[in-house]
A and B are shown apart, each in its own frame.
Chain A
């Protein structure tokens, strides 16, 4: 469990707190989403979780370890891994295998097990059999999957996806989200998805809405979608079909908050 208690953070030389007194617990196996406008503190919060940044007030504990304790920071950074927006900033190898090996060698992973671990994670993200391929031959979506594979190889307890789909084309984006759904079945691992797009997080356990560095609301997607005005105030737009369903509900037509096209068409046949 990650326990965030009364955490505030202000960047050096800045006169503004970007995180203001946040308290939050992320449970084992939970899939949580962080939504909010640009500048609301989403990315800063993720960097606090794995000790890239340290809180100025309050504390963060990962499985009982304080991020400010220099003796255990290595463990924390291993437990909490981030996939960033731009895979080019994260890929270090020239081949897929080399990229995944890099992280594994750094944490002292048993050499004789490296190969099977590489194959295992490539399979997880749908890139099996491509270990010798050059990373330059990968499309944007494949690169992001490789970044995910390299991170998964380290068996993180907490996986953070910081706008990991922002640069992908629609096809790659869908594939990437499917991969995330698949690895989610691992009960031990918690996932934190940071995004602007509500349609990416309709299946998560809880959504944390951030506004100006504070938690505006924590709710399940099904509850949150009933309050489009709260979402909009946080810079999040309702997806197309739920937005129409929402408008129809205001005139008293009962329809699933996350409808399919067919369900909406059925309204017309009533």
Chain B
């Protein structure tokens, strides 16, 4: 499902549209095209409009100005909404999964299974099923649990509140995955996660992205993480998209990063330093690749 935003503006407060004031808006003049199957990161300071933007994409708010198109259609269009009502109320927004910051705070059911099954159980009412509803839900929950490495027997019937913080996070993400969204948006999913959990989450995201062609939109403060995983980066500031492109190019533009008070990250700095010695690395965040390149250089110059 393609995502298109055309001159989108949004304000949390009522604005006088006749007296247009740029500062009235939380996100401003957003234009973007996202194709199905991309792996995109959005970065920017707290308050730069990242969270608002992803909530607009998920349809939690409608744009104050401008147009949002999902798969070529405007889900907020009045006629469009009438059509969806006739089709059991399933909208394009239902194909988008949004993992909020600290999603584990929203767990509510008595068992892990019930919590993950909540989404699919609601979906049963909208979908045309090819098998008994109960079985359909069960399969979805099982697949979601596998994706988040929760297939261990002990999880299914345990109370989410008996799990550790990292495990609860995985349960919460599995709950979103159970709806099998075409587009998955994650807001700071690795905050508070340890190294194992982060590595395994990114493995899952790449799997979804490559094998099932799921679009991944990752909001993150950690630019190292973005450099290592995303193939496209949008840098936001003051409610606007300031830059949109290849993370390896954008994160190497130190002058620009400094002008918006974002940090230079070590892998990028180091790979630029290495380039002066004629050492080029494909993935600057890959420690073994970088170390290997240095070793090769040293052996070559020692001769």
Task: Produce 1/0 per residue, A9-22, CB < 8 A to B.
Answer: 00101100000000
Inter-chain contact A38/B197, CB cutoff 8 Å: yes
Q: Please judge, given known A-B contacts A139-B46, A240-B267, A261-B273, whether A196 and B194 are in contact too, CB under 8 Å.
A: yes
Q: Return the contact of B287 from the options A173, A247, A267 (Cβ within 8 A).
A: A247
Determine if A127 is an interface residue (Cβ-Cβ < 8 Å): no
Q: Return the contact of B162 from the options A11, A141, A244 (Cβ within 8 A).
A: A11
Inter-chain contact A43/B191, CB cutoff 8 Å: no
3 smallest A-B Cβ distances: which pairs? A38-B166, A39-B164, A235-B194
B220 CB to nearest chain A CB (Å): 10
Say which one of B56-64, B128-136, B207-215, B288-296 lies at the interface with A.
B288-296
B153 CB to nearest chain A CB (Å): 14
Q: Which residues B174-194 have CB closer than 8 A to chain A?
A: 188, 191-194
**Contacting residues, chain B, for A232 (C-beta < 8 A):** 195
Inter-chain contact B191/A268, CB cutoff 8 Å: no
B contact residues, total (Cβ < 8 Å):
44
Q: Which residues B258-281 have CB closer than 8 A to chain A?
A: 261-263, 266-267, 269-270, 273-274, 277, 279
B27 CB to nearest chain A CB (Å): 17
Determine if A237 is an interface residue (Cβ-Cβ < 8 Å): yes
Q: Return the contact of A39 from the options B166, B285, B288 (Cβ within 8 A).
A: B166
Q: What is the interface of chain B, defined by CB distance below 8 A to chain A? A: 45-47, 101-102, 162-167, 188, 191-198, 221-224, 261-263, 266-267, 269-270, 273-274, 277, 279, 285, 287-288, 290-291, 294-295, 297-298
Inter-chain contact A243/B195, CB cutoff 8 Å: no
Determine if A220 is an interface residue (Cβ-Cβ < 8 Å): no
Q: A166-B192, A236-B194 are in contact. List 16 more A-B contacts (CB 8 A).
A: A37-B195, A38-B164, A38-B196, A39-B167, A170-B221, A170-B222, A171-B262, A174-B263, A235-B194, A235-B195, A247-B287, A247-B291, A248-B295, A261-B269, A261-B273, A268-B277
Determine if A93 is an interface residue (Cβ-Cβ < 8 Å): no
A244 and B262 alpha carbons, distance in the complex (Å): 24
Best-surrounded residue of B165, B221, B263 (most CB of chain A within 10 A): B221
Task: Produce 1/0 per residue, A199-232, CB < 8 A to B.
Answer: 0000000000000000000000000000000001
A195 and B22 alpha carbons, distance in the complex (Å): 40
Determine if A177 is an interface residue (Cβ-Cβ < 8 Å): no
Inter-chain contact A38/B262, CB cutoff 8 Å: no
Count, A-B residue pairs, CB within 8 A: 105
25 sample A-B contacts, Cβ–Cβ < 8 Å, listed by A number: A37-B195, A38-B166, A38-B197, A43-B165, A85-B192, A167-B188, A168-B221, A169-B46, A170-B221, A170-B262, A171-B261, A173-B221, A196-B193, A196-B195, A235-B197, A240-B224, A244-B270, A247-B287, A248-B294, A248-B295, A251-B295, A261-B270, A267-B298, A268-B274, A268-B294
Inter-chain contact A39/B165, CB cutoff 8 Å: yes
A243 to chain B: closest residue by CB: B287
Q: Which residues A47-61 have CB closer than 8 A to chain B?
A: none
A218 and B238 alpha carbons, distance in the complex (Å): 45
Task: Produce 1/0 per residue, A236-267, CB < 8 A to B.
Answer: 11001101100110010100000001001101
Inter-chain contact A267/B46, CB cutoff 8 Å: no
B168 to chain A: closest residue by CB: A38
Determine if A140 is an interface residue (Cβ-Cβ < 8 Å): yes
Inter-chain contact B164/A171, CB cutoff 8 Å: no
Determine if A163 is an interface residue (Cβ-Cβ < 8 Å): yes
A242 to chain B: closest residue by CB: B287
Best-surrounded residue of A173, A232, A264 (most CB of chain B within 10 A): A264
